[in-house]
Structure 1
Amino acid sequence: SPGDNAGVDLNNIPAGAIQRVEVLKDGASAIYGTDAIGGVINFITRKDYTGVDVAASAAGTQQGGAGKRTLSLSAGTGNLSTDRFNVFGVLDVQQLDRLRSGQRRFISEHPLATTLPAQMSSNTYPANIDISGAQRAALISAGLLPAGSTSSRVNPSAPRCNPPATVYAEKGPGGVAGCSYDYMEDTEIYPDSRKIGFIGRATFQLDPDNQLFAELVQSEAKTKYVLSPNPVRIRSLPVSILPDAYRTALSAPGLPSTFSGIRYRMAEAGNRSNEVTSTGQRLLLGATGTLAGWDYDVALGRAENKAVDKYVNGYVLYDRFEAGVRAGTINPFGPSPQAGLDLINSIKINDEARKAKGVSTSLDGKMSRSLATLAGGDLALAVGGELRHEHQTFTPSDLLRSNNIAGDRDSTIPAGELADVETADNTRKVASVFTEVVAPFTKELEMQFALRWDHYSEVGNTTNPKIGLRWQPMQSLLLRASAGTGFRAPSLSDLKRPTIFGTTAGILTDPQCVQQEGSIDTCTDQWDVERRSNPNLKPEKSRQFTLGVVFEPVKRTSLSIDYWNIEKRDVISTLGEQVIIENPAAYNGKYIQRDEDGFISSILLMKENQGKLKTSGFDIGGEWRTERGPWGRFGIDLSGTLILHYDRQFGPAEPFRSNLGVFLNDQVIQKWRHRVNFEWDNGPLALTLANQYSTGYTDQNTTYDPYTDKLLPPNHVKYYSLWDLTGSWTVSKQLRVRAGVLNLFNADPPFSNQAWFFLAGYDPSYTDPRGRSAFVSVNYSFR
């Protein structure tokens, strides 16, 4: 999305262009870049290719939605040894289908009205009405409310309401006389997405030792995001727009001619839909080879990414919509007349809201050679560096700046008044130099020394060393260790992204309001927020070390365990909205703004240096293989991580809080995660049964129990385990077929009461809502 801080979408790299993937788990800051604190994953693309490959795949889910289809074409010609050139290209096309929340049983069978009523919304269709005490008394006298009612929020359609999304929930935010909105019945979990990517490379052999190459990567992704209809609150409306019975009751002598307002869901405008188009291009020109005893690799590159966010449905001009409600043309309490529908259709927005562009131009190179011969091998030296210029722009549309888009505006200022959303045009320069020495002192002992210096024009210089040791006292035993420092400069988006207005991701209850009002009825909402960057951010810094052992007791059996320890300082993050709202004494005035009645008017979410993060744990691996026999070969692979501690600060002076096995702020850190593969290979046929597992944890605990007006008791989220069964059949040298069933036992995501993510009832950060799915892929090579 334009202006966000997301990294590169690796799905845009054509799968057929990837030659291999390298994973380095220990600190890699001194070699790959200072922000590679915990290691690095390298996707190594092909350098040359001859022949033609065609690959296609299709996947579908048992419960519908979230299907995927891909088509890939690879073609290349030219032999570097004989023709002295190679040219190849890979074209990859993907289509991902949307997944609506109503298509999943674990959502439809556990509606928020019975599981988490406090996370429902008070913005409904038909609209809820907020009234005064005197108006409530008039409704009681007219028989429209029961005697003794204390409700300050009513809905003329209650208790029928308008299911399945607008429902009667006695303990929802609509209260006993209103309706509540279950947005999980009316949204999408996965968006519809279409992607096309291309990578092409031409390599020319200048002489036996040197090559020139040019590489082009081009991609485009179009994604359509669909959410529930826009919520809107309009204050101080005339009694004359109310349904007949309510209008008559509230027009009695002595009563005001207006009521407090409505909490409305703009269903007649349709679901909020925006289409984000992201395009990327990278051009690389370089040379590689050997010169004067040095192996070298140098390249000049330019990468450009653009993103355009376009509203295509569900968004309207706020001022004209509000005027239509006040005039009675638009009926918020039921179907609007044709004139109202015509007005809504005429003010719908189908236009760009914002766009962003980022350009990175770089010159990088590295050289390596052997300096001497030691007892264990060559003493190797590598040196390298990079010069990079980054340029980022953010351009809001005139309409966005006018503060007149319902659902994307600053509600604290009038429609038409310029919002604090400015055009941004920012640049910075980055320079880096690194060196690495690998010294095999003996055949048993090898050491690595690395040093990297980086300069960022925004934040200054940093120097980060790394030392590594590898000692193999016997054939079956290897000991390894490393230590180093790291540094992560804030991105341009962290520093200078324009303000973005919106609402909290989840439905949150204000504890100060509960104490003031005595009930959650008027204290639970999706509050307005301002998301701001911070030009005063300092860079993150880190220290990390690892210590590990690899043991091979018998042939074809290997066990490994690596201890790692990382400490970060000045961690760049945003304090979570629920952490802010549950601590009004600490954050009133700083992050929480309130109106004259004490209700929240907005919450500030700003990038900050939050303090320290300390974590440690073990990476555990195992591999076992049998000899190939009449029934083939069997094997087991295990890769797991055990976290010992994960402690965070939410401010430099704040105490450490453990995030291990507890949902805190914006995430949960499970104590144990693993993937284990049980494999069988018998020539052309192979099968793999795989299990992914993560332990349970203590849930986020910021949701109120509407029956007691107190926080819900702690919830334990159970473990999560998925089993996949996949197989492959090599029909011939040209044809290979793969198929499989993912989530073999159709496991649902475990229930969670988290309110950090918009999707309620489960945690989408580590679970898979697709359920059981199946896929098949075919690859044919013309060689």
Structure 2
Amino acid sequence: MKSQQSVMNRSAQPRLLLSAISLAVMALTNQASAQSDDANMTRVEVTGSSIKRVANEASLPVTSVKAEDMVKQGMTTLADFMMALPQSASLAPSNAGSGTNINLRGLGVNRTLVLLNGRRLANEAIADGYANLDVIPMSAIARVEVLRDGASSIYGSDAIGGVVNFITKTQFEGLQLTAQAVQPEKKGGGDEQRLTATWGKGNLQTDGWNVYATVDAHQRTRLNASDRAYLSSAEKLTELGRAPSLGTGGNATPANFTTPTNKTAQNPYGRTGCLAPYSIAGQNGTCVIDNNEYGTALYANQQVTFYARGSLKLSEDHIVSIDYSRGEEFIKATRNPTNALAVKGVAPTISSTSKWYPGGSGGVPAVAGLNNAPLTVTWAVADLGAATTKDVQLNQRIAVTDEGIIGGWDYKAGLVVGISERDNYYYSGYVTGQGLIDGLKNGKLNPFGLQDTDGKAYLASISVDGAKNRTSKSTFTGVDFTASKALMELPGGSLALAVGADLHRDTTEDTKLAIVSDVTYANTSPSHGEGQRNVAALFAEINAPITKTLELNGAVRADHFNDFGTTVNPKLSFRWEPMKQLMFRGSANTGFRAPTLFDAYGYRLPGATGLTAAKWDDPVLCPGGTPGVAGTGKPIAGQVAANVCNVQLPKQTGSNAGLRPEKSKGFTLGVVMEPFKDATLSLDYWNIRMTDMLANLPEQVYFLDPAKYAAYFVRNTDGTINYINNTTMNLGGQKAGGIDVSGSYTFPKTSFGTFRVNLDGTYLTQFDNQLFDGSPFVSNIGQFGLASNGTTSSFPIITYRWKHTLRLNWASGNWNSTLTQNYNSKYTDQNLVAKQYWRDINSYKLWNLTTTYSGFKNIQITAGITNLFNAEPPATNSSLYSFGYLSSAASPIGRAYNVRATYTF
């Protein structure tokens, strides 16, 4: 039997078995592209097991996809692959501001183990501690294997959600050049270019050696929110209950102001004088910033990756290899222009001596009743443009491996050293907060319009553009050894044993530099955190083919953490094949995940470290509204609405020394069948239970019941919020379960060619979260809910009831064409708006079409259309999404054209 959904490519007579199901099979699929059409009897190691065997004998649910099949589906990056995977809840590229992650089952990126050739990488040195897929050279990938099951007993106790194993080419000969371009149909950014060169020499089989190298350069330009302004227009946001006019007195150009005796925001130009395109009219004669003007729908991104591998065949039974990878990524992230904010309790004010005071010599209109009182301004400095940071990530890895046979034992040994470095820079639009305060005070800066020559020169003098503000580094050093051997013959085959050991050390260091205290708009403080962890493990696996039809497998792994003690995690699985057309499989396992190094040892600051992702009403200073619905409260006497109502509030994130490890239990039970020739169908039920989950409380929890969570609001002596405690903590449990449905059917060959239909989907039966131990479980299926299972981002986990990828393929001679549909079922919106705006998010269907022609000598050309029917991303009323659509689940690019050409010398 085959290791994943494709169970028999062997010829078989049509059966009457399961005739009722057979009609549905033609609309079902698996990742059959990962299997060879010929039964290959070579013994290999399959992801999820340490024992070599014939590839089609494994019992675990593994999805395998070849690199060439990603191309045929129009995928240009590994992020595209992760988004299309039904078992993945990864963020769309538009939100991958830190790179691309993989989140199997929606359990969090920290619970999905990412491997390169079966071994770990160094995690990115940030709070999430995940492996950034963007630094993996796509041109070196031969296939990707996804184990949709817990694998703590094989790879380590943290492989709770599953394992994604990127497997590179074993060898390559010749020279191959590839060029690719993606061009959106609509104007603006978001276009992509890729250039790849791969060279190799030698043949392991005939020469006894091979060496190859590949370099891959990819870039994507920024897509401004203004380039897709229709997706988040004022009219559309109003329909969603998020009308921009709800804002009043926020930061804008021209600035709004208050006086010591009048806390109602005013603007000297009134609502008709708001300065386009920098601001639009707000309430009560004020101006508010135009988010579309500065917002980013898709980050600018550049990647340059390199991979080299050399292999030497010492004998028929021994191969030594060394491989080196280097991935560098540049990401530019933008936000609204720098705001003038209070510094050490001193608010940005303008006095009557400034020529820019209303009615002064600078030409700002007079406002009645000011009486030369100082004005506190809420100002976004339009002259600076969008505030942009540049993130530079460098990930390097070297691995030395030795594989062979000694005394009848298959063995493999490896040494891996990985280093991940990440630096962040103020790229453009950032100035010192004190500089703005001083510039307003001395009259050089005009908060009510664009700057004159002197004002521009002053802004330049307080700029911090180009300065590094954060530096991080993480390392991974590991050695491992595994040996397996057939011990004896059983009625069904060889009883095999594998034993192994693994020793690795992780380190992390993260420093926010002193300059961040000067840049008030960045709203963070200097900090430093570092930690290290040693893990030693012993593991064993035994595979027992009891009969020709029944196989049992058991594995156990003991991990010792120098900071969290020892944990032992077993796994049991079975495979029963009562007939060639039918197989049952199942497994049960436990897991244990220690806090990430950042969660346990990262920075700890006494005050705020940032702002909430969404806007909220301060429940004490802006009371009276609907709980959780921003903009419905009213400021109490002496407070300014722009400061306490419908605003981002200060929060504290960071490590927690008191965290406990989380634990899990899981099981799978599945059936794989071939009801008739060239048709396969598999159903796999999976179930995971977790306790003491390490996560942050979702923001809405605090505001839906502020009295219950009042202790988390830490206030200053004047009653304003110092910070909301949003540090990592042990929450309650999670119960998740579902059914993976896969199948395929190849139609009889016709004169027009061969047609094939595939479907791979996941149906969620349960996704319940518990905020704290003892509290009730709440379902999150098909709704925003209160799911929180990590610190990946401020975006909620999207848990669709049903998600699938459907592929229709046609092949004839040199032609190959694939039509792909990615489908997400409907979703209940967050609905933290007025009740009349409550709504559902409709199901989302994305169609891609690609065609490949290989009839030219040495040349292969692929052309395709992404988002064939130009579907818009689903709209949402959640204020977590700045632009009114579900950017974590869909791209705003629209229809795009993709051309790729490969020349092989």
TM-score (norm 1): 0.90
State the Cα deviation string for residues 29-80 of structure 1 (Å, max 9, x = none).
Answer: 2112222223222111122221111111111111131111111111111122
State the Cα deviation string for residues 82-138 of structure 1 (Å, max 9, x = none).
Answer: 432211111111111111111115425455763412675821111111345x548xx
What pairs with 1:755-766 in structure 2 (closer than 5 Å)? Answer: 755-757=879-881, 759-766=882-889
Give the equivalent residue in structure 2 for 1:451: 556
- Judging changes above 3 Å, is the alpha-carbon distance between structure 1 residues 516 and 553 closer, same or farther for their aligned structure 2 residues? closer
Report how far residue 298 of structure 1 moved: 0.5
| Native 8 Å contact 2:350 2:440 kept in 1 | no
Q: Find the aligned partners of 2:300 and 2:367 in 1 and give their Cα distance.
A: 47
Report how far residue 597 of structure 1 moved: 5.7
Report how far residue 733 of structure 1 moved: 6.0
- Judging changes above 3 Å, is the alpha-carbon distance between structure 1 residues 248 and 157 closer, same or farther for their aligned structure 2 residues? closer
| Native 8 Å contact 1:567 1:615 kept in 2 | yes
| Native 8 Å contact 1:329 1:339 kept in 2 | yes
Q: 2:163 matched to 1:43?
A: no
Q: Find the aligned partners of 1:594 and 1:393 in 2 and give their Cα distance.
A: 31
What pairs with 1:469-480 in structure 2 (closer than 5 Å)? Answer: 469-480=574-585
Q: Secondary structure at the match of 2:845?
A: strand
Q: Find the aligned partners of 2:370 and 2:616 in 1 and give their Cα distance.
A: 35
Structure number with greater CO (CA < 8 Å, separation at least 6) is 2
Report how far residue 579 of structure 1 moved: 2.1
State the Cα deviation string for residues 709-764 of structure 1 (Å, max 9, x = none).
Answer: xx66422111111111111111246221111101100000111011234x330122
| Native 8 Å contact 1:750 1:762 kept in 2 | yes
2:434 alignment partner, one of 297, 300, 319 = 319
What pairs with 1:252-401 in structure 2 (closer than 5 Å)? Answer: 252=371, 257-259=373-375, 261-350=376-465, 351-400=467-516
Q: Secondary structure at the match of 1:315?
A: coil
TM-score (norm 2): 0.78
Q: Find the aligned partners of 2:863 and 2:501 in 1 and give their Cα distance.
A: 44
Give the equivalent residue in structure 2 for 1:682: 812
Q: 2:724 matched to 1:619?
A: no
Give the equivalent residue in structure 2 for 1:11: 134
Q: Find the aligned partners of 1:635 and 1:248 in 2 and give their Cα distance.
A: 73
Give the equivalent residue in structure 1 for 2:697: 575
Give the equivalent residue in structure 1 for 2:302: 194
| Native 8 Å contact 1:731 1:737 kept in 2 | no
Report how far residue 524 of structure 1 moved: 1.0
Q: Secondary structure at the match of 2:449?
A: coil
Report how far residue 684 of structure 1 moved: 1.1
- Judging changes above 3 Å, is the alpha-carbon distance between structure 1 residues 112 and 636 closer, same or farther for their aligned structure 2 residues? closer
Q: Secondary structure at the match of 1:344?
A: helix
- Judging changes above 3 Å, is the alpha-carbon distance between structure 1 residues 741 and 248 closer, same or farther for their aligned structure 2 residues? closer
Q: Find the aligned partners of 1:607 and 1:442 in 2 and give their Cα distance.
A: 49
| Native 8 Å contact 1:74 1:91 kept in 2 | yes
2:522 alignment partner, one of 408, 417, 430 = 408
2:661 alignment partner, one of 532, 535, 539 = 539
- For the aligned residue pairs, the C-alpha RMSD in angstroms reads 2.2
Report how far residue 596 of structure 1 moved: 5.3
- Judging changes above 3 Å, is the alpha-carbon distance between structure 1 residues 198 and 73 closer, same or farther for their aligned structure 2 residues? same
Give the equivalent residue in structure 1 for 2:571: 466
Aligned amino acid, residue 319 of structure 1: Q
1:630 alignment partner, one of 751, 764, 779 = 751
- Judging changes above 3 Å, is the alpha-carbon distance between structure 1 residues 109 and 271 closer, same or farther for their aligned structure 2 residues? closer
Q: Find the aligned partners of 2:437 and 2:771 in 1 and give their Cα distance.
A: 40
- Judging changes above 3 Å, is the alpha-carbon distance between structure 1 residues 236 and 38 closer, same or farther for their aligned structure 2 residues? closer
Q: Aligned residues: percent identity? A: 33
Q: Secondary structure at the match of 2:276?
A: coil
| Native 8 Å contact 2:529 2:598 kept in 1 | no
Q: 2:634 matched to 1:519?
A: yes
Which range moved further: 317-326 or 103-112? 103-112
| Native 8 Å contact 2:382 2:450 kept in 1 | no
> Which consecutive unaligned segments of at least 5 residues does structure 1 have?
137-150, 170-174, 411-418, 706-710
Q: Secondary structure at the match of 1:104?
A: helix
Give the equivalent residue in structure 1 for 2:281: 168
Q: Find the aligned partners of 2:234 and 2:454 in 1 and give their Cα distance.
A: 38
| Native 8 Å contact 1:124 1:181 kept in 2 | yes
Q: Find the aligned partners of 1:153 and 1:451 in 2 and give their Cα distance.
A: 68
Report how far residue 702 of structure 1 moved: 2.6
Report how far residue 337 of structure 1 moved: 2.9
State the Cα deviation string for residues 250-292 of structure 1 (Å, max 9, x = none).
Answer: 454xxx8334x22211222221111111111111122111111
Q: Secondary structure at the match of 1:585?
A: coil
Report how far residue 566 of structure 1 moved: 0.8
| Native 8 Å contact 2:176 2:902 kept in 1 | yes
Q: Find the aligned partners of 2:816 and 2:439 in 1 and give their Cα distance.
A: 65
Q: Find the aligned partners of 1:726 and 1:105 in 2 and give their Cα distance.
A: 29
Aligned amino acid, residue 808 of structure 2: F
Which range moved further: 26-35 or 675-684? 26-35
Q: Find the aligned partners of 1:264 and 1:113 in 2 and give their Cα distance.
A: 23
State the Cα deviation string for residues 461-496 of structure 1 (Å, max 9, x = none).
Answer: 211111111111112111111111112221111212
State the Cα deviation string for residues 225-260 of structure 1 (Å, max 9, x = none).
Answer: 2222123334373541531187663454xxx8334x
Q: Secondary structure at the match of 1:322?
A: helix
Q: Secondary structure at the match of 1:589?
A: helix
Q: Find the aligned partners of 1:335 and 1:492 in 2 and give their Cα distance.
A: 46
Report how far residue 296 of structure 1 moved: 0.8
Q: Secondary structure at the match of 2:752?
A: coil
Q: Find the aligned partners of 1:153 and 1:502 in 2 and give their Cα distance.
A: 28
Give the equivalent residue in structure 1 for 2:108: none
Q: 2:137 matched to 1:31?
A: no
Give the equivalent residue in structure 2 for 1:125: 253
Q: Secondary structure at the match of 1:627?
A: coil
> Which consecutive unaligned segments of at least 5 residues does structure 2 have?
1-97, 99-124, 626-632, 636-640, 787-795
Aligned amino acid, residue 125 of structure 1: T
What pairs with 1:91-130 in structure 2 (closer than 5 Å)? Answer: 91-107=215-231, 109-110=233-234, 114-115=238-239, 116-117=242-243, 122-130=250-258
2:201 alignment partner, one of 50, 63, 77 = 77
Q: Secondary structure at the match of 2:441?
A: helix
Q: 2:901 matched to 1:743?
A: no
Q: Secondary structure at the match of 2:379?
A: strand
Give the equivalent residue in structure 2 for 1:708: none
- Judging changes above 3 Å, is the alpha-carbon distance between structure 1 residues 5 and 38 closer, same or farther for their aligned structure 2 residues? closer
| Native 8 Å contact 2:254 2:267 kept in 1 | no
Q: Find the aligned partners of 1:766 and 1:608 in 2 and give their Cα distance.
A: 27
Give the equivalent residue in structure 1 for 2:822: 692
State the Cα deviation string for residues 190-231 of structure 1 (Å, max 9, x = none).
Answer: 222221111111111222211222111112112222222123
| Native 8 Å contact 2:341 2:520 kept in 1 | no
Which range moved further: 239-248 or 35-44? 239-248
Report how far residue 507 of structure 1 moved: 2.4
Give the equivalent residue in structure 2 for 1:209: 317
Give the equivalent residue in structure 1 for 2:109: none
Give the equivalent residue in structure 2 for 1:180: 288
Aligned amino acid, residue 55 of structure 1: T
Q: Find the aligned partners of 1:374 and 1:110 in 2 and give their Cα distance.
A: 72
Give the equivalent residue in structure 2 for 1:639: 760
Q: Find the aligned partners of 1:81 and 1:540 in 2 and give their Cα distance.
A: 47
Which range moved further: 521-530 or 215-224? 521-530
Q: Find the aligned partners of 2:693 and 2:848 in 1 and give their Cα distance.
A: 37
Aligned amino acid, residue 408 of structure 1: A
Q: Find the aligned partners of 1:8 and 1:760 in 2 and give their Cα distance.
A: 28
